[in-house]
Amino acid sequence: MNALIASRRGASVLLALTCFALVGFALYLQHYQGLDPCPLCIFQRVGMIALGSALLITLGLPDRITLLRRLGAVLVLLSAAATGGVSIRHLYIQHLPDGLVPTCGASLDYMLDAFPLADVLRKVLTGSGECHKVDWTLLGMAMPTWVLIAVTVIGVAGFVVNWRRPPAR
């Protein structure tokens, strides 16, 4: 097991599987526990899938070509940062006082059908009343907090293992 974690590819696989397992857990909460995701939750899922996919992309990058390996590391870090930014926005909306919470808007499906993608992104990242509600906690922390912790740990670990020079054989 230590050899798997020590290798760049092994660590990337484990980190990617963690991303996909977290998305699977979110889908479990949605479909079996009845927790409907708000638009920001959906964007965090997409970001987690992007992070896992970026980690999988690094698997195909050769160890001996430093530039490609480091570009993969930057892709991992950018995916994690974007997802973390959505999580931070979600946490901000959840901590707004009741009088300052935006009103609930149209569903994400409707907005994607009715508006250009740029408008949908702007509306979703502005947040709505449904993003204010905390339906699930673990150890007193809401899901966006756990997403932020996960993407920070996975993003930094993925960046480090793909940036550093692999050990000589």
Answering whether pTM is above 0.75, one says: yes
Rounded to whole angstroms, the Cα distance separating 96 from 132 reads 8
Average pLDDT over residues 54-79: 89
Examine residue 82 and state whether it is found in any structural domain, yes or no. yes
Cβ atoms 132, 93 nearer than 8 A:
yes
- Paired sense of beta strands 141-142 and 137-138, if any: antiparallel
User: E-strand spans in 15-158?
Assistant: 137-138, 141-142
**pLDDT at residue 7 is higher than 80:** yes
Please indicate, yes or no, if residue 168 is contained in any of the structural domains. no
Assigned domain for 65 exists? yes
In a domain, residue 152? The reply is yes
Evaluate whether residue 57 is within a structural domain.
yes
Check which CATH number belongs to the domain holding 99 and give it: 1.20.1550.10
Between these two residues, 24 and 133, which has the higher pLDDT value?
24
- State whether the Cα torsion 125-114-132-151 is positive or negative: negative
Domain assignment of residue 90, given as a range:
2-163
pLDDT tens track for 119-137: 777 766 665 556 767 787 7
- Distance, CA of 90 to chain centre: 12
* Domains held by the chain: number: 1
User: What pLDDT, on a 0 to 100 scale, did the predictor assign at position 23?
Assistant: 95
pLDDT at 147 over 70: yes
